[in-house]
Structure formats: structure tokens, C-alpha cells
Structure 1
């Protein structure tokens, strides 16, 4: 049986990492692939990521997503269930799904309310939002620019286990 491949996306603080890790733990022989790891590998010259990307930031984001889908493909070919998680909005999600289309990725979009994003961001050690980058910017971009691929979940009032159950129940 072919192992599943999941693409999990959403705005910052949507719960992508938490849900992806919990999902991967429920699958035999699995990988939680964090797309952001490829950005973190850059020692010098990392471009600023934010609501508006300059050319260099866009190129680095494209590279990060290409590397992540290549890694997902390699892990999958080695027999691992892959849970690839990153902020993939609009055409970025479409491109990732298309690059992995032959592996039938199951797309999951976590779309909690803006209030939930703000509360979760305040509660974590690493904050991504601020005065010039409030959570509604990414939440609205996700809603406005992203085609309705896969399973969209408003996880605002759901536990991690409930979200994972919904994902596994949808497959």
C-alpha cells in the first residue's frame, strides 16, 4: 500500500506544526517535514519574509518550497508517510500540490478565526505577528487568494486530536 502524503497549510499560528506532528505520530513510518527548515538553514543572506516580498525573498521562498517538495518526494519514495507543513497561500499551494500531484497529496488548510490566530500567537514563544503585520493579513490572503483545494478546517474551537481525527476521517 502506498503511504499517504499530506500538505498542511494555514496562516502563522494556525496550528500547522502541532497538527502535522500529531498527524505524523498517528501514522506508521512517518515524517513531519517542516518547510521552514530550509529557510532556517540559510546562514547569511536570508531575505526578510513578510506580507510583501521583494524579488530576493520571492526567489528564496520559491527555493524553499521546491526543496521541501523534493524532500517530500524522496521520503515518500523511501516508503514514508509524509506530512509536509508550511505557509502555502494562493499559487504557492497550487504549485506544491501540482509538483506532488502524481503522489496524490491530501491538502489540508487550517483556517481558524483571526481572533484565534492572534491569541495563539500571543501564547507562543515565537511570535510572528506585530503592529505592522497583524494576523488578519495572512488570514485574508488565505481566504482571498487560495483555491478551495482539499479539506478546509476552521480549527478555532477544536482540539488537536479532533483536527487529526477530521483529517484522517476525510482520507
Structure 2
């Protein structure tokens, strides 16, 4: 298979949002709508750690931070590999701060990164989390703090997409249609 040059490489979509925002569902639907795509789910990558896993807000905090960095490095390495092969990578990951976004951008230097924050609002996120399969629910009580921090640090970056009144299919269709115009960060 021929390698795609950096100039020909597809954009990389980096999709974030609070727990329950719809990242997993929407990135899957967007990937299905593109001719050549790869969906890279941070939660699935985390499940690769069989023993010794510490979740992002867990203890010990230094180990949690090390594992988050490892996750982000792995997501970006695979995104670069897929883009080099002509696939559009869609990264589904929690990007809560400008520092984390800059870390991703530093690992995707030759890519046009489209940054999309799914932002249906706190109450919608809470509700969506309650209707998930119990194995997929995320026990999280820091919505207000996370929402405020993300808006403060990332509010002027990428596309903040209020999806509260849209179905996942409508959201995916809009991303496919509008992301190249609304979401570039580099």
C-alpha cells in the first residue's frame, strides 16, 4: 500500500466532550459516513491495560497522569499511522484543557486537526449517562467544574457544537458537512 504524503493526508478529527456528550456514538457514526476512516476510542485503549490500570482521576495521581499521557501518545501514534495510509482518524478522547490539546497537537504536527467539543449541556450529559448500558456508565459528579474549566481553557478553540436538540445521526451528518469549515485548530 502506498504511503500518503503529509500534504495529502486526511484531517484528523479530535472529538471531546463531557461524559455523556455522545463522543463514542457520534464518532462511530461519523466514521461510517467517511470513505476511509478509523475510529480511535480512548476508553477502548484504556481497556488494553489488563493489570495496573489507574483511571484518569484515580490514585496514585502521578500514575494516573502517566497513564493518561501514555493513552494520548498511543492515540496520536495510531492516528498518524492511519492518516499516513490515507484514512481519516477520528480520536474520541477527553481533552479537558488547553495543555492537553496542545499535547495532542504536538503529537500530530503534520496533520490538519479538527477539534470538536460536543456540548449538549450538563443536564443532557447526565441524562444520557443514565440511559447507557450499565457497563458503559461513567460515575462522575464533577460536571459543573469540568464544564467551567473546559469553557475557560478551550472556549475559543475549535467547534463547540451544541447537540442537545439533535439526534446522533443529525450530529454526525453536520460534522461531516461542516467540520472542515468550523473546527480547524491548526
Question: Would you say same fold, with TM above 0.5?
Answer: yes
The runs of at least 4 consecutive aligned structure 1 residues that moved more than 6 Å come to: none
Q: Distance in 2 between matches of 1:168 and 1:118?
A: 26
The corresponding residue for 2:45 is: 38
Deviation at 1:27, TM superposition (A): 0.4
The corresponding residue for 2:64 is: 57
**Length, aligned pairs only:** 169
Would the aligned equivalents of 2:10 and 2:112 in 1 still touch at CA under 8 Å?
Answer: no
1:115–1:51 CA distance, 2 compared to 1 (3 A):
farther
Matched, 1:117 2:122: no
Matched, 1:9 2:19: no
Which residue of 98, 110, 113 maps to 1:105?
113
Q: Which runs of 5 or more residues in structure 1 are unaligned?
A: none
Deviation at 1:136, TM superposition (A): 2.6
Would the aligned equivalents of 1:8 and 1:84 in 2 still touch at CA under 8 Å?
Answer: yes
1:50–1:169 CA distance, 2 compared to 1 (3 A):
same
Moved more, 146-155 or 17-26: 146-155
Would the aligned equivalents of 1:114 and 1:136 in 2 still touch at CA under 8 Å?
Answer: yes
TM-score (normalised: structure 1):
0.89
Q: Which runs of 5 or more residues in structure 2 are unaligned?
A: 1-7, 181-186
2:157 match: secondary structure: coil
Matched, 1:129 2:136: no
1:107 match: secondary structure: strand
Would the aligned equivalents of 2:42 and 2:93 in 1 still touch at CA under 8 Å?
Answer: yes
Moved more, 158-167 or 87-96: 158-167
